[in-house]
Amino acid sequence: MKSNIISILTALLLCFGMGARADNVVTIGTASGAPGEEVTVSVGLANTDAVSSLQLSIPMNEELTFVNGSAVLGSRCTDHSVTAGVKDNMLNIMVYSMNLGAISGNDGEVVSFRLKLGNQPTTIALTGSKLILTDTDGENVAGSTQNGSVGIRCAKAQYSSMSVDFGSVPIRSTYTRTFSVTNVGNEPLEITGLQFNTYPTDFSSTTSFPLTIAAGGNASINITYAPQERGTINETVKVVCNSISKLNNIALKAQPFAVNELHVQPTSGIADEVVTVSLTMNNMDAISGFQFEFALPPALTYMENSFQLSDRKQGHSVVQTLKDGVLRIIGYSSSDTPFSGNDGELATMQFRLSGRNSVTLKASKAILTATINNQAENVCSAHYGATVTIKSPRINAGSTLNMNSTPVTQDAISNFVVRNYGNAPLTISRIVFDKDDLYIGQELPLTIAANKNVTLNVVNPSIAEGDFSALMQIYSNDPEQRLWNVSITGNRFAPNYLSFSTPDIYADQNLSVNVSMSNYDAINGLQFDVEYPSAYFEPTDELITTARSAGLSVSQRNINANTVRLFFYSLSDAEIASGDGEVLTFKLRAKGETPAGNYSLRITNIKLGTANMQDKYAGTNITSNFNVKNSIVGDVNRDGLVDSGDVMAIYSSMAGNSDPEIQTRSDVNSDGLVDSGDIMAIYSIMAGN
């Protein structure tokens, strides 16, 4: 009979395809609870077939434990039995009927079981597998599963660090550190406070409690530390909260120490001077003694026995030694009496500065002694150096000075600039020359401010002729250039000069040339060449000496077509004495009407000879300029006007009292005579006729 039914069903399925397929779904339920609780998970069945048995496997997570014997059949299973157990981490459940009786109804719970929850906040999927459904004929029928889950609901604290280390910190101050708490659970984390394991304690917190941290959130908690005594601190603080984790103790560490510091105070001074350096001490302990060592830089020279205690001393004594550049100082009290106060100057010491570079002064060794628990200890927590700023002058000047060529009739004076490129006054204490004649025009010592300069007047009053040289040595307080050497050169000469004057003339006039001499030496002979405009002028024999040149003979000779050489000489040792003034007038005759314009004479080859045959001329070639003006008819006296003065000149010519040039110009009407007709011609010109 059963075989026939199966055949008929098979035939129907083949005829109608999948449209006639049954739908049987096993549903695993959902549950949640706190860690350690037991929760019940329901397994339901929605079926279209008559199902007599059900077999299902569910993998077990390590946070889930099956409660043995907890499987219970639902109300739909009136003629069924159930078995459940775990093997190889799989929960296997079987619901069956010995007489293949059908599970009643078509939907609802078939069986339930209990699971004990672990302590990690999580949601665990319950995944059905190996599902087997049989019908009332003992044949398998198709089915599927819908998964469920189990949630473990709790808060769990996770800390950014399990220790808070304050490190080495001075006592009598307050320090704050923080650590963060993250809630890695799935329920709010409630922190109600902190519990310190040591009382009294120097630790506290200003964080407000209670503190609620949502799942996945975080918050910071601060720990404040206010140490009062030195030592090594190892404490813990417990975070009181509802975290499932029991690891809520945070280690607290610190190395509090007393602050006892030595400070070298900065100072500044000028090179070569003495400065005072102050040592200050701020101390929490009662300091009764000290020991310092300073490896002194070369720029600092310790002033012997200059270390002096301040008024903080209480009968203390000091021992100070200097050896191999190391200054050692010991301060002590025979009665172990501490220095007074907790801050301020402890002592001073003095150094002479040298060089121009700033240096650092710091103790290479510093011991501060205090009695702690009846035992002397070095309680120096730190010592600090400081800069000793050395200000210094810096001399800068030329290494040579050319005083040029100067006449012996006056002092040779040259300017010499000395600069101070430093940051302190430069003092020139003395200036020395290796020649007695030279000296400085300013009084010494001479001070030059920083970044300034002065001009020295170097004077040579010597009347010795010729080249000279000297060494000038400048002594100053420049720490790196105490001596500045300057090589001086120059020349002294006798001022023997010639000068020429050539007054302007009219076109028909001869040219008179006046020769003057300014001479330091007595001159026994004189020579010069005169280059002249030979197209318009020629030499004459008119050579007129003066009282200065009396006793000397003068002559001339042509050198070429436009040059004449003039000589002064004496056959009896006559001389032109030292002095100034004219010595000669010579004339150049106009060849005719000289065109108006500017002309010049060039005087070369000048020689001034002394009795010992030395040429003592101190000048160079000379150019003497003159102007030729157009003649004015009737201007007999050549004053640029035609007036009564010319009438008087004609009268003088008529009387035979005029020189040849005026005599010639007096013939105004050009009739060959100088008479009243020329006077009438003047009046006619004056009348504009």
pLDDT tier at 673 (50, 70, 90 boundaries)?
Answer: confident
| Residue 135 · residue 96 · CB < 8 Å | no
Among 115-119, 237-241, 493-497, 503-507, whose mean pLDDT is lowest?
A: 503-507
Among 312-321, 364-373, 512-521, 677-686, name the one with the lowest average pLDDT: 677-686
How far is Cα 470 from Cα 482, in angstroms, rounded to an integer? 20
CB of 508 closer than 8 Å to CB of 630: no
pLDDT of residue 509: 85
Predicted pLDDT of residue 15: 32
- Is residue 529 within 8 A of residue 603, CB to CB? The reply is yes
Please determine, for residue 293, whether its predicted confidence score (pLDDT) is greater than 80. yes
Quick one: pLDDT at residue 392? Answer: 95
Whole-angstrom distance, CA of residue 257 vs CA of residue 127: 62
pLDDT of residue 648: 87
The 3-state DSSP class for residue 524 equals coil
CA distance 335 to 313: 13
Running DSSP on this structure, what letter comes out for residue 561?
T
- Amino acid (one-letter) located at 128: G
pLDDT at 22: 53
φ, ψ for residue 4, nearest 5 deg: -70, -40
Domains detected in the chain:
22-152 (2.60.40.680), 157-257 (2.60.40.10), 260-391 (2.60.40.680), 395-493 (2.60.40.10), 497-629 (2.60.40.680), 644-686 (no CATH)
Mean pLDDT of the 303-324 span: 96
Is pLDDT at 9 greater than 60 in this prediction?
no
Dist CA 554 CA 18 (whole Å): 161
Each residue of 252-287: b (16+ CB within 10 Å) or e?
Answer: bebebbbbbbbbbeebebbbbeebebbbbbebbbbb
Q: What is the pLDDT of residue 12?
A: 30
Q: Which tokens sit at 498? A: 């010639």
Order of strands, sheet of 90-96, starting from the edge strand that comes earlier in the sequence: 81-87, 90-96, 51-59, 129-135, 140-141
pLDDT at 3: 40
**Could you tell me if 486 and 416 are in contact, meaning their C-beta atoms sit under 8 angstroms apart?**
yes
Q: What is the DSSP code (8-state) at residue 517?
A: E
pLDDT above 80 for 77: yes
Starting at the earlier edge strand, list the strands of the sheet with 412-420: 395-397, 412-420, 453-460, 439-440
- What pLDDT is recorded for position 279? 98
Q: Provide the percentage of residues in the chain whose pLDDT is more than 90.
A: 83
What is the band of 601 on the pLDDT scale with cuts at 50, 70, 90? very high
576, containing H or E segment: none
Tokens of 33: 């609870």
* 3-state SS track over 199-256: CCCCEECCCCCCEEECCCCEEEEEEEECCCCCCCEEEEEEEEECECCCCCEEEEEEEE
Q: Is 352 exposed, middle or buried (0-12, 13-18, 19+ CB in 10 A)?
A: middle
Average pLDDT, the chain: 92
Query: Please, which residues bridge with residue 107 across strands?
Result: 46
Mean pLDDT of 492-520: 94
Pairing state between β 375-378 and 300-302: unpaired
SS3 95: strand
641 or 121, greater pLDDT: 121
Task: Please give the structure tokens belonging to residue 634.
Answer: 């009737």
Name the more confident of 508 and 5.
Answer: 508
Q: What is the mean pLDDT of residues 247-267?
A: 96
pLDDT tens by residue, 144-163: 999 999 999 999 999 999 99
- Using an 8 Å Cβ cutoff, are 308 and 320 in contact? no
* pLDDT at residue 1, as a whole number: 36
In whole angstroms, what is the distance from residue 393 CA to residue 356 CA? 8
Residue 361, classified by CB atoms within 10 Å of its CB into exposed (0-12), middle (13-18) or buried (19+), is buried
Rounded Cα distance between 359 and 440, Å, is 38
Is residue 416 within 8 A of residue 397, CB to CB? The reply is yes
Q: Does position 632 have pLDDT exceeding 90, yes or no?
A: no
Question: Which tokens belong to 253?
Answer: 């560490």
Segments of 307-384 assigned E as strands: 308-309, 317-323, 326-332, 345-353, 359-361, 365-372, 375-378, 382-384
